[in-house]
Amino acid sequence: MLWILITAAAAPLQVARNVMQRGLVGDAGPWGATLVRFLFGLPFSMAMFALAATLTPDAHPDPTAVRFWIGVLAGATAQIGATAALLLAMHRSGFAVASVMQQSSLPLGALMGWAVLGDQLSPPAWAGVAIATAGLAVLSWPKTADVRGGLAGAALGLASGAAFAVSLNGYRQAGLALDPDHPLYSAMAGVVVAQTYQTLLLGGILAVVRPAALKAVLAGWRQSLGAGFFGSAASACWFGALALAPAGPVRAVGVIETPISAAVGHRLFRERPSLRQWIGGAVTTVGVLLTALG
């Protein structure tokens, strides 16, 4: 199915973006590094939307759809917080561990859907939520004596997962509302609107409260272009997949990001997860998959 291929492509693109953003945190700070994916990804997203519009001349979007604007703006706002929390978690708990913690977006999204939207889950799905929660508890316990720092990193990872859960569902609703007959066109339009809003919002805030971070982002434009490109390509794939399938199955396939992140963390950052962390990551992955497939 097309959405599976698109999601599978999104995972390595997202890992590449995370690697490049991680290297920007030192100079620009987490909020400056977060701005990079939006500001420098926007030109690439506009080009992708232009291509999608050319290939779908019969598209009839409804720009007055309230559900589109609510979904895309809520998703974009949540994505800003999720990205910043993920970058901070990487520095507290390591690249691989933080990336696995981010996978909590699926079980947390299930709980949000049940509590807020009244979604009904099957018993296997609830079992998956419980298993994922147990795996995250094992994974989040720090491997050093710095209990406070380790738990802080785990909490940031969980916060990132929760915000990404909101973002995923918001973007899916936006794509379905704009033009249900042309989901990929709607997805590309949603990416452009979201990144424009994110650039203006976060760029404006940094210009007022942290102008040095904004200057660092602009000064590092060469490295930032790479992060922007991979971020834009990953967002296009996520939006496209979410326009074709529900957030649960999409996030389940996206779990392939976990072993990729572990390999990258070991290769580039010399991170060596302990046996307990490998077990916790495996249990978490099983729980996430069971939640989606249940």
Q: What is the mean pLDDT of residues 132-144?
A: 65
Residue 221 has pLDDT above 70, yes or no: yes
End-to-end Cα distance, the chain: 19
Q: What is the pLDDT of residue 145?
A: 43
Q: What is the pLDDT of residue 31?
A: 79
Residue 243: closest CA among 294, 178, 291: 178
Give the range among 113-117, 245-249, 261-265 with minimum mean pLDDT. Answer: 261-265
Domain count along the chain:
1
Q: What is the pLDDT of residue 217?
A: 83
CA 128 to CA 130: how far, in whole Å? 5
Question: Cβ distance 265 to 96 under 8 Å?
Answer: yes
Instruction: Indicate the pTM of the whole model.
Output: 0.76
Residue 57 has pLDDT above 70, yes or no: yes
Q: What is the mean pLDDT of residues 111-120?
A: 69
Residue 41 has pLDDT above 50, yes or no: yes
At residue 58, the 3 state secondary structure works out as coil
Q: What is the pLDDT of residue 147?
A: 46
Q: How many residues does the chain have?
A: 294
Tell me which residue has tokens 């995250």.
136
- Averaged confidence pLDDT in the chain: 79
Structural domain span for residue 33: 2-293
